Amino acid sequence: PTLSEEWSACLQTLKGYSHKVFLVAFSPDSTRLASASYDRTIKIWDTSIGTCL
């Protein structure tokens, strides 16, 4: 697939980990994002505003 030249590589920056994130997964409706870090935590994010729930 190709991307438009106007596509932004960064839409949101999710902060709150003390180590690198190694896995992310979207919910089926794309309203939530789960992320897992090497600091042994999993966070659930609201994708519309970028906040951790």
Read off the pTM.
Answer: 0.72
Residue 14, strand partner residues: none
What distance in Å separates the CA atoms of residue 24 and residue 5, rounded to the nearest whole number?
25
- How confident is residue 48, by pLDDT bands cut at 50, 70 and 90? confident
Q: What is the CA radius of gyration of the chain?
A: 13
What residue segments make up the domains of the chain, in order of their start? 21-52
Q: What is the pLDDT of residues 3-42, one digit of tens each?
A: 677 776 777 788 888 899 999 999 999 999 999 999 999 9
Q: What's the chain's length in residues?
A: 53
